[in-house]
Structure 1
Amino acid sequence: MENLWEQGPQGSHTLLFKREPSPQKVWRSVLTLRAARSAVYKLGSGHNSREAATTEHGGFLVTHLIFQHLGATSIDDPDFDWDSEVLEKIPALVPELVRRLTHEIVTRYGPRPQIRSAFQSAKTCRELARHVLGDLADGVALPAPPAKERKPRRPNTVPLLVDRRVIKDGAPLRYVGQNEPERDAVEEWLAEDERRRQATWVNHRTKPILWAYDEQQYSPSGLVSKMWADAGWDDRPVANQGTVRWFQSEGLSLWDLAQRIHSAEDEPEDES
């Protein structure tokens, strides 16, 4: 360890740290780091997941850019107004730097970059800093915010099953209560007439349940709500997920069948 403190032109301490920084440089560096970290923290998750990742993993590079862009050459100048020329500009500059960094990463490393990995590479950080500082010096316009990443909305259970013709017309269905309060409230009423828990499937996009009790068609949730009301369940929930309560003879609910389709479509294709 004593070698670390070796002085002189070839000493370890001299090679690592060069000359000792002045108290003014140390203090201004501390103030700048604090202001930058505070601004990054306040920016938080922002409005875009990519920019959120940049604030989370790129805070130190953002601070480096602030130093280089605003005051690196003047940090030892006692006449330079560090407060107004650097510290007061940081809150407005940090969101811009985060957006520019995010844009550079997405542009140079693909539409789905690993932003965390980019900040773990010294070479990549140097390249990002060079490009961002170059754009700032040249007055390149701030990039538009990246579009929010949206996963395609999955189709609702009933239209999906109808469109795919997963269930044949006339296939038997059976109502199954999903929790103890529900079963306690409706079981006696169901037992009075077994047709009340029976239905058949109709490939209809809004009313696919043909209830055996009255031979009318309903939506899965609509029929469950009617059954709860007819059974006299005063404390029944306002809404319900009917597709988890109607089961095929094979033991799968309507919701289970839809999830099987989603899972199959989410699996990567076999390229072998």
Structure 2
Amino acid sequence: MDHLFTVSGANAMPVSPTGLAAEGLLERRHLQEWVIGNPQILGESVLVITAEFDRWADTDGIPARDRLDVLGLDATGRLVVVELKRGTADRDVHLQAITYAALVSRFDLGTLAQAHRDFLAGRGQDVGLEACRQRLLDHVDGEWSPELLQRPRQVIIAAGFPKQVTHTVVWLSEMNLDIDLVQVGLWKVEGHLVAGFTKVYPTPEVEEFTLAPARDEAKAAAKKLEERSRARNAVHILVDAGLLPDGTRLRLTPRHGTTESIREAIVDWVGEDPSRATATWINNTAKPLIWDGDGTSYSASGLAEHVFTAVTGRKADGIQGTTWWDVDTGHVPDSVDPDEWATLAGTDLASLARRLRGAGKDWMSLHTLLGAVPPGRWTTYGDVATVIGSHAQPVGTHLATCDRCPSPWRVLNAAGRVSSNFRWADPTRTDTPADILAAEGVRFDGDTAAREARLSLDELQRLLDG
């Protein structure tokens, strides 16, 4: 409210503004009480839960010194964090409000009910804890939502706001953080003080024409970032686990971020040039796919977006490219066991990464386990991988190149046969794993080891734990 007048008929006499400090009015004793007594200042249907709240503690149990001016609850079920300044706001006032919002976002119904009870008791009202709890529940339209409590709305009330605050709040609002700026003005009219509260940001026009589109853009950007992060994390997991050897062939199967009609269009487009359907994997976390379509290296999402744009003529939005590429099990790398490789049929990179999450290349547990497998018993690459938290393929690759692995001959493929890719670390050896197992008492039916000598998963786990 920039101008205030006293009116007498056709005459309007301007009223000079004053300030809270000039009139000896204090932040907590006066401005805070105005807000508590008139919660409509904070928006529609706001219930004041507490004021001057400081009963939080840090991780050491030491009470924090921060004091929240006012905490409210609106009818939608969102908390309202209020920061008050009787003069022009400090340059970092929005940081204070955000800190309080973060602290109260972990409150639950019980915490809020206790705070409300203490607040009312301090004002001479003896209300039971259960009654306070019910009062909060009754104030909310619809069901109580813990999720909504985690997204408090913030209201900063001050006599003025520096540009650093307004510029930052505009950007935070566009990023989907709700912060209202309310300006308090004070005038002296015929011996009486008149206070006015004006919401200076966001105005209805800003909310409709600026914030809404900006927030949609922010959500879209956040979604794209999330999908990119998922794809990048999946690639890191696969590379760290050593699941796919360099040279692994991948086949294009468009999934995430497409519709049925777009997928059909991509299939037709690939039909024009079959090289577009395949890529080669290399263990590079940045650009692990070499596309046969042009021989260029891409990230999984980068290549998926390239294909999407080439077919549709539109820019892709947040495609998780690791869902687009399946392992081509018809092409078996030299270093893998064909039977184990066949288990990857129809599996995309994202699915493989979910299986391997938490796996890595620390083979200490593998060496410990193999050293504990007794003579006359055998296990499989897949079972060993399950127990140590890996996958059959990297286990097999490691055993094929490891010169320190105990008893590697006691690990067979899923069919109970010696892997066709088994190699001794000592190239002069002429015996086979089957020869040694037979000498240890394992019976063979042709080239397949007897199942009664196979260790169960429980037995393997006990060997590793023991």
Please state which structure has a larger fraction of its residues in strand: 2
Normalised by the length of structure 2, the TM-score is 0.29
Higher RCO (CA-CA < 8 Å; seq separation 6+): 1
Task: Report the structure, 1 or 2, having the larger helix content.
Answer: 1
TM-score normalized by structure 1?
0.47
Q: Which has the larger radius of gyration?
A: 2
